Structure 1
Amino acid sequence: MSTSLRCPGDYDLLAYLLNQVPDWMHVAVEFRQPSWHTETIVNLLEADGERGICVF
């Protein structure tokens, strides 16, 4: 994710992005901005199932 995006302000943008990705496609997301390093973000990616990979 761009360092210009901030959580929680851009949380909805991340959720929208994950919902747009087809089910067959795997996703890797690297969060460089520390404001994204939250349990809420981990829960969002876990809810996406095995497709989401989070890198802090």
Structure 2
Amino acid sequence: MSTPSVLFIMIGSALMFVGLVIMAFEVVWESMCLDGSVLKNRLIIWAVRIRHEVDCL
């Protein structure tokens, strides 16, 4: 593997990790503020978003 592709994969992994951390904070924050049905809908949206990011890598 050439250096640029390794760098690209590392950057992509770092961005995904940061995104997951942010989403975890949002889940904790919203679980304190919202009822279960709204939270469940948000989790479904996030699952689709994560899947899309994985497919793009």
Higher strand residue share: 1
Q: Select the structure of larger CA radius of gyration.
A: 2
TM-score (norm: length of structure 1): 0.34
TM-score (norm: length of structure 2): 0.33
Higher helix residue share: 2
